[in-house]
Structure 1
Amino acid sequence: MINKNIKSNFISGFLVFLIALPLCLGIAKASGFPPIAGIYTAVIGGLVVTFLSKAPLAIKGPAAGLIAIAIGAVDELGGDDPILGYKLTLAVIVISGLLQIAMGFAKFGKMGDMFPISVIRGMLAAIGVIIISKQIHVILGVVPSAKSPWGLLAEIPHSILNLNPKVAVIGVLSLALLFVHPLIKNKTVNKLPAPLLILLLAIPLGFVFNLSNEHSYTLGSLDFEISPSQYLVVLPENFFSGITFPDFSQLLSYTSIKYIIMFALVGSIESVLSAKAIDALDPNDRVTNLNKDLVAVGIGNTIAGMIGGLPMISEIVRSSANINAGAKGRMSNFYHGLFLFLFVLLAAAVIKTIPNAALAAMLVFTGLKLASPQEFIKIKNVGFDQLLQFLTTLIVTLWTDLLVGVASGIVLKIVIELVQGVKLNEMFQLNTQVSASKDGLVIKFNGIASFINYLKFKSLIDAQPKNQKIILDFSDCFFIDHTFLNNINNIQNKFTKEGGELIKVGFEKHHFQSQHHLSSRRLVTNPLQENTPEELTKRAQSIKEFAESHNLDFEANLSPSFVRPYLSAFSILSRLRRANNFILGTREHYSFMIFDITYVKADDFSTETTTATIALVFNIAKGGIPDFYTQDKSNFSNLKTKYDMDLMEKSNLTPFNIYGNNEELIDTFFTSDIISLIAEQPYRIECKRREMLIHKEWGLLSEGKSMEYMLSFVDNLGNEVVKKRFEEAQV
């Protein structure tokens, strides 16, 4: 087992290194730091912090989320001297690292739970806009004159009209590849990390366009200049010669103090949120000690600042890739840092051929995800109050800085709650009554449940055994905010994993800000203002009518404890947040459910939720059904490919692969009828412990024909499996 883990961690560390190399270089350049600074940070995060944190699967390194702070510090502290600004910013990073160590010892690791979610999302969206505003010009090969995000955005049309064609070709193609990569059907290409594919495209184009030699060229009537120092990555002569020491001369200035707080606060929040997201993806359900991890990150940042590196966090994108590559433990982070160190030490010449436009494309892609229109829609769906907080944080951050932006979002949130009748002193109080009943432990809330007093509630709930049933009664709670409800939703999984149950009740007389299940809500006394969860959405009503037309049962909402046992064998369980719109059916030899789920989908700097419609077929006759899946999923790394379906290709059916360990059982189970049935439909199947999970590329099915097709497929598959079981029984 130990040797197997070493091999898995070594391979995953190498794959993460391929992703981390261009990202570290690009983040450093975008931050106003030398490119080598990003490598220093990742190397320290791998070779040093690995043994201090003991975070199971987290990859430590520089993150795009801190670009806005870093470049702001360099510009403000250095003025017209970027080298001086860089050295003064290093001093800020050192002190912010020490502050993070103190925060970790003071158990601030849980503070990520108390910040309003919409404010954090607004901050991340602002970071995304700032990244885009700066890096889009690098993609086009133009040096902008503006400095502020608004000015840089306004200057984009000018840069498009004055782009450098050779550079722009590399940048635009790299950006296009990032969008196209998930759509590529070739399995070999699809498995390669997108950053690696970009390097494989951009480096040869750099040679074709002769970017390594200073020259001019003419296109039509226009003349263009190529300067290697501007368009290619620049590295010091060797790994160690790039080490730069901080300048502490302005440490007590207002600007330095402001950026110390920003680095410590924003970096800690991002690292904590990312660590929690990584834990949610861990197939072994391990939990990171957030306080200890914060101390480790602080030590890493202190060291990085002392030698010329960027600040680090637990980085979600590289960590997700690490998990998908089959990492078993923290040593994969060590190997990723080791590979970076050896590559820069032995193959620096290769790095010097990487076009900056390609690195900028990766960052613009990241920025577009952070500030995508979908983020606005998701926040709006939770409630107009959340959208106001989101937009305020976003706009104020772009006009000023992150610290002021976050503060303005929090102040607005407090004002909104005060307008709704919440008293200021109640925000800091947690009024609960704990009692025992025949149903379990009951925690009854009075006053308000706010993001400010959530940590008091968490201390209360953490002191309770998780293997019991706890009922949270909000019937007398005047106001419950979105952040509080979202955090409760997250800790429900812990209870389920340990055999317990956490249930929320008492919302019958509350007014909801929206129909979102986690929207803020306020107690009302006028029955005409009540908006109870029993009111069906348009989708729920349509699915109910569909179920009734097929003589099936429908339930709009069921307790999570109902569905989780059926999903316990599948990896989606650890990311499940909510299930609703249930169609339930029982046939003679099997049962099934078709329903919508809301689950966590890891993103670059936070976990965002998305929805899908899935079906479960269960209570099938025992025996003769292998564990398998019909889609190449990296989190099933312990399974191996059985075979490609030549039969389907001969029958003009869509080819698919079957994966599983028991090849003999797979051979006997997959008859030509079952193969044809699966191939004719766009569904993917996972079968574990004789239960089948069916979905369509993890998407939400529309009501009507799509639901009709899934129901038909479920019945046809169930009948084929049952028919095969009876044939075997007769033999």
Structure 2
Amino acid sequence: MTSQLNYYLKHLHQDIPAGIVVFLVALPLCLGVALASGAPLFSGIIAGLVGGILVSWASGSQLSVSGPAAGLTVIVFDAIETLGGFGGFLLSVVMAGGLQIILGFLKAGVIGAFFPASVIKGMLAAIGVILIIKQTPHATGYDTSFEGDESYMQESAESSFFELSQALEAITPGVTLVSIVALLILIVWDSGFIKQFKPLKLIPGPLLAVIWGISFNTLAMHIAPELVIGEKHLVSLPELGSAANFMNQLRLPDFSYFTNPKVYSIAGTIAIIASLETLLSLEAVDKLDPHKRVAPTNRELKAQGLGNMISGLMGGLPVTAVIVRSSANINAGGQTRIACFFHGVLLLVSVLFFAKYLNMIPLACLAAILLQTGYKLAKPALFVEFYRKGWNQFAPFAITVVAILFTDLLLGIAIGMACGFFFVLKANFHAAITLTQHGDHYLLRLHKDVSFLNKALLRKHLSAIPDNCELLIDGTKALFIDQDIIETIADFLLAAPGRGINVEIQGFSVSSDMSSSPH
């Protein structure tokens, strides 16, 4: 215990500044995700608090940051609308958390390995497109149905694009100006030019966008009243001022929904998608971790499950591990879980004592942040990248995107998975990996073809290889090696020198762009 405490104290000078940066990134995102979900803005803050203060200690990851995720906005809005009330939705969140804990005990942390990257990235790209379409009305101050019918899954793609065109015609000048400039700030701040300057790089772009929006509206009150942004276009959080008032704002789930079968299907959907997003984020964080630490996936599922149960019981949105906040933590120099915990404490302090100032934030700033998030999820370069990888990668990716846009999230993923399996089975019906040992020499042999279905087995074999040994990875018999397998081997190669493992590869190559072909 003492050594652990010393470890945290040793890195405190790096973790505290990183926690401040994560807080400044997380605050507008918590509000923005709640806005996009059609939920009370306070529910986004609660999810951020739970992710920072509770999940940071329950998780096995030192650098992962949890909170409300943009990837769940479509599901959340649809769930609230389907159940006809936020209280019923909260019950689904609590149940989803319980399911995640069960999944953790069942050691289902390998579940992410059975979903091809093309389908998962297709899902995120589709969510990015939906965010762009659905946040445009908020960015232009479109007043008709201003609450923003985010329920994309309940309407046709044609009607959504029609609403988008209407929003572009019926704009509010002040709101539109704020969102355009905020978007430009975010784009410039994300450019390579700004990243050259280390002090500037530490200032989060979303914070600057929010400061711009508040400054513009304050100035417009004195100079150009016709451009002033009205209250209905501003953040609206209760001004608390004390812990007692904070407790009074918490909302319990409506337990009368126990008899509604829809609650259970929604809970299952949230548990599956939140777990997938968490496991994918965790994998990305492990890759970014300068110390190459590997977080236990089953413990992470339990931690997220606990977080969702508590968040649902307090009136918060579902939480997942979030790559945007986690990467901000790593880039800011975070070393331990203290950074994530401190960002949660700052969120609590801000909502307790500074709600008056948070209510000055124009929703247009949050919409701009979500528009940029949507673009990052669905940027054209991603489509080009998958096209260059070949049809076995591009077809499942593109079909998943289109299927989600024209049906709904789960059905779209199912269609994408079916397409992915078709291509895999067509190219590689049978695959196997074996690991043999002779002294401190290990032979990992890829027999015939190796697909993403073998990723879990590959990880099991690689994790069984001890430190300070010789490893030969023989792919001479493999006719086909899937991209997911190459990435898993590439990640192992990065960590191998630090463990004293000397690796030799035969029959295929692992290049910097992860492209590979056997023989």
Q: Give the superposition deviation at 1:317.
A: 1.9
CA distance in 1, matches of 2:239, 2:340: 26
Q: Give the superposition deviation at 1:236.
A: 2.5
Question: In the alignment, is residue 518 of structure 1 matched against residue 518 of structure 2?
Answer: no
Q: What corresponds to 2:306 in structure 1?
A: 299
Counterparts in 2 of 1:73 and 1:485: CA distance versus 1, 3 Å: same
Q: What corresponds to 1:199 in structure 2?
A: 210
Q: What corresponds to 2:489 in structure 1?
A: 488
Q: Give the superposition deviation at 1:436.
A: 4.3
Q: What corresponds to 2:333 in structure 1?
A: 326
Q: Give the superposition deviation at 1:50.
A: 2.4
Structure 2 counterpart of 1:159, one-letter code: A
CA distance in 2, matches of 1:251, 1:400: 28
CA distance in 2, matches of 1:441, 1:187: 44
Structure 1 counterpart of 2:506, one-letter code: V
Q: Give the superposition deviation at 1:114.
A: 2.6
Structure 1 counterpart of 2:152, one-letter code: S
- Look up the SS of the partner of 1:476 in the other structure: coil
Counterparts in 2 of 1:507 and 1:186: CA distance versus 1, 3 Å: closer
Give structure 2 stretches of 5+ with no counterpart: 1-5, 241-245
CA distance in 2, matches of 1:507, 1:284: 28
Question: In the alignment, is residue 450 of structure 1 matched against residue 451 of structure 2?
Answer: yes
CA distance in 1, matches of 2:127, 2:144: 19
| Residue identity (%) | 35
Q: Give the superposition deviation at 1:286.
A: 2.6
CA distance in 2, matches of 1:252, 1:475: 58
Normalised by the length of structure 2, the TM-score is: 0.88
Question: In the alignment, is residue 12 of structure 1 matched against residue 30 of structure 2?
Answer: no
Counterparts in 2 of 1:272 and 1:431: CA distance versus 1, 3 Å: closer
Counterparts in 2 of 1:269 and 1:432: CA distance versus 1, 3 Å: same
Q: What corresponds to 2:33 in structure 1?
A: 27
Structure 1 counterpart of 2:238, one-letter code: P
CA distance in 2, matches of 1:154, 1:299: 41
Question: In the alignment, is residue 69 of structure 1 matched against residue 75 of structure 2?
Answer: yes
Q: Which of structures 1 and 2 has the bigger CA Rg?
A: 1
How many positions carry a matched residue from both structures? 496
CA distance in 1, matches of 2:184, 2:64: 29
292-301 or 189-198, larger mean C-alpha shift: 189-198
Question: 1:506-545, aligned counterparts within 5 Å?
Answer: 506-507=507-508, 517-518=514-515
Q: What corresponds to 1:354 in structure 2?
A: 361
1:442–1:472 contact (8 Å) kept in structure 2? yes
Question: 1:259-658, aligned counterparts within 5 Å?
Answer: 259-420=266-427, 422-423=428-429, 426=430, 430=432, 432=434, 434=436, 436=438, 440-507=441-508, 517-518=514-515
Question: In the alignment, is residue 148 of structure 1 matched against residue 159 of structure 2?
Answer: no
Q: What corresponds to 1:233 in structure 2?
A: 235
- Look up the SS of the partner of 2:488 in the other structure: helix
Counterparts in 2 of 1:507 and 1:335: CA distance versus 1, 3 Å: closer
Q: What corresponds to 1:176 in structure 2?
A: 184
Q: What corresponds to 1:167 in structure 2?
A: 175
2:79–2:266 contact (8 Å) kept in structure 1? yes
1:381–1:516 contact (8 Å) kept in structure 2? no
Give structure 1 stretches of 5+ with no counterpart: 79-83, 220-224, 509-514, 522-531, 534-731
Q: Any idea what the Cα deviations from partners look like across 1:579-634, whole Å, max 9, x if unmatched?
A: xxxxxxxxxxxxxxxxxxxxxxxxxxxxxxxxxxxxxxxxxxxxxxxxxxxxxxxx
49-58 or 26-35, larger mean C-alpha shift: 49-58
Structure that is richer in strand per residue? 1
Q: CA RMSD in A?
A: 2.9
- Look up the SS of the partner of 1:134 in the other structure: helix
Counterparts in 2 of 1:157 and 1:4: CA distance versus 1, 3 Å: same
Q: Give the superposition deviation at 1:466.
A: 4.0
Q: Any idea what the Cα deviations from partners look like across 1:670-702, whole Å, max 9, x if unmatched?
A: xxxxxxxxxxxxxxxxxxxxxxxxxxxxxxxxx
Question: 1:184-263, aligned counterparts within 5 Å?
Answer: 184=194, 189-210=200-221, 227-228=230-231, 230-238=232-240, 239-251=246-258, 253=260, 255-263=262-270
Q: Give the superposition deviation at 1:275.
A: 2.0
Q: What corresponds to 1:570 in structure 2?
A: none
Q: Any idea what the Cα deviations from partners look like across 1:423-466, whole Å, max 9, x if unmatched?
A: 3xx36xx353636499x422333343222232223223322224
CA distance in 2, matches of 1:433, 1:205: 63
Q: What corresponds to 2:3 in structure 1?
A: none
2:233–2:364 contact (8 Å) kept in structure 1? yes
CA distance in 2, matches of 1:313, 1:148: 22
Counterparts in 2 of 1:437 and 1:340: CA distance versus 1, 3 Å: closer
Greater relative contact order: 1 or 2 (C-alpha under 8 angstroms, separation 6 or more)? 2
Structure that is richer in helix per residue? 2
Normalised by the length of structure 1, the TM-score is: 0.63
Q: Give the superposition deviation at 1:363.
A: 0.6
Q: Give the superposition deviation at 1:173.
A: 0.9
1:431–1:447 contact (8 Å) kept in structure 2? no
Q: Give the superposition deviation at 1:123.
A: 0.7
